[in-house]
Every structure is written in C-alpha cells, then in structure tokens.
C-alpha cells in the first residue's frame, strides 16, 4: 500500500531475528521443490498438491508455458560464468514433451509427487514469503529515503547469496536504482506469484505475452470494478 516506513520497520525485525538464513548455493535447485524451505520460508501454505498440479499443467500438458523472453531475465555479465545467473540453471530445465524439447520452471515442482514417499524433512507446500523479500523491502525503503549506500548493501546481500557479483563490485561508486531492485526481485521470485503485484504497486505497464501487446498501467487493469449491488441503498 506504499507504506515503506512500516514495511522497512518490520522487514528489519525479521532480518535482525536471525531466524531465517539463505540456503547454500549448492541447494538452489532443491530447497523449494514441492516444499517450504526450513531455512528461508517465513510463511508458507501446507499442501500436497501444488507440485503435481503444476507438473501436470506445465510439463505433461501445454496449459502453462513460459513467456518467450523469460531467459533474458537471467542474462547479464555479472554471474559466476560470463552472462549467466546461477538461478538460471538451478530453476529451469528443458524437458521432452510429445517429441519436442520444452523449457520449464522446475523451481517448486518435482517429478516424484507421491507425498507418502517424501523424505525431505520439510513441510510439503508453497512459500508465500521468503527472507530475500525482506532485503528487497529494506533496499527499496532506504533508496526512497536517499540512503543509497545502505540500500545497495541490502540488495547485495541477496545478490551475493545467489552467487552473483555484488553491485558494489561491478562499477565502483555507482548507485543502484529502483529498476535494479525490481529486476532482482523478479529473478528471485519467478514463478511465485509476486510480479503482477509489484507491477500493480508501481502502476507499471504490463506486457502480455499471449497478446504480444503492452497494456498501460492504470485502474482499468489493476482495480476491480465496484459491484453495482454495493451502491444499492436498499
């Protein structure tokens, strides 16, 4: 709702509690597969169905597909390898589907979806809020306050945890921008149902892949109309 002051206050409380830690980079491909992360998840929903639901629609069928330019989100020159973000190889893969190779986001789903056989030790389910988001909130709030150095420091904590070169080490003395924070947020939270709400909060234009068109941000696409019954004095 735009209350960055309180968002910062409570995000800082969560971070300072030290109850939630980033997983090791070697666990990036598995720490959210059909389960909440015992390390990063602040709040999640218990369900045994999310993985099989997504696997059936995203892999076995063609109901869900990735946007045509999804790979470009992770391409830059600051990864462990030239032009690549570690999350690209950890969270996406190509799968044979009816004779064709199909790119899928395997971040939160698993081919083995039998809950009775699960021995991973975490709760089966879906993460709603994870610790990286607290750092993005801090970075955005500090940037809004004009504290660009600390804003970059908070963003760099996530960047470094994911094996990327810190912004502070990319171009010495260069400040980060809101666009930098949003780009990192989008890469980190891909497939977790967050991006549309980020666009709504900032009233951004939306590119709709299925229409190959950009819709201008505004009440027309972001605000549900008030039902006429609500205006009935009876």
Spatial distance between the Cα atoms of 160 and 78, rounded to a whole number of angstroms = 11
Burial class (CB in 10 A: 0-12, 13-18, 19+), 15: middle
Q: Given this model, what pLDDT does residue 202 score?
A: 92
User: Is 141 a member of any domain?
Assistant: yes
Q: Given this model, what pLDDT does residue 103 score?
A: 87
User: Is 188 a member of any domain?
Assistant: yes
State which residues form the domain around 177. 4-222
Joined together, the tokens standing for residue 211 give: 């229409």
Q: What is the domain-level CATH number for residue 142? A: 1.25.40.390
pLDDT tier, 120 (very low <50, low <70, confident <90, very high otherwise): low
Altogether, the residues listed in the chain come to a count of 234
Q: Given this model, what pLDDT does residue 84 score?
A: 67
Spatial distance between the Cα atoms of 30 and 33, rounded to a whole number of angstroms = 5
User: Is 232 a member of any domain?
Assistant: no
Q: Pick the closest to residue 194 from 83, 107, 103 (CA basis).
A: 107
Check residues 14 and 82 and name the one with the higher pLDDT.
14
Strand partners, 44: 127
Check residues 115 and 102 and name the one with the higher pLDDT.
102
How many domains does one find in the chain? 1
């Amino acid at each position: 709702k735009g209350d960055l002051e309180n968002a910062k206050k409570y995000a800082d409380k969560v971070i300072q509690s030290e109850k939630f830690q980033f997983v090791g980079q070697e666990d990036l491909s598995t720490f959210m597969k059909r389960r909440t992360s015992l390390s990063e998840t602040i709040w999640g929903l218990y369900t045994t169905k999310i993985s099989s639901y997504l696997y059936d629609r995203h892999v076995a069928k063609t109901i869900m597909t990735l946007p045509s330019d999804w790979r470009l989100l992770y391409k830059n020159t600051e990864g462990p390898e030239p032009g690549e973000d570690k999350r690209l190889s950890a969270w996406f893969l190509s799968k044979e589907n009816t004779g064709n190779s199909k790119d899928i986001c395997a971040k939160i789903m698993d081919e083995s979806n039998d809950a009775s056989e699960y021995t991973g030790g975490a709760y089966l389910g879906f993460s709603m809020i994870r610790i990286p988001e607290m750092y993005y909130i801090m970075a955005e709030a500090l940037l809004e306050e004009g504290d660009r150095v600390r804003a970059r420091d908070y963003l760099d904590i996530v960047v470094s945890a994911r094996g990327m070169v810190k912004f502070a080490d990319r171009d010495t003395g260069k400040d980060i921008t809101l666009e930098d924070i949003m780009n990192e947020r989008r890469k980190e939270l891909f497939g977790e149902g967050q991006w549309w709400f980020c666009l709504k909060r900032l009233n951004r234009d939306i590119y709709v892949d299925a229409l190959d068109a950009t819709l201008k941000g505004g009440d027309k696409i972001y605000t549900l109309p008030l039902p006429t019954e609500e205006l009935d004095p009876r």
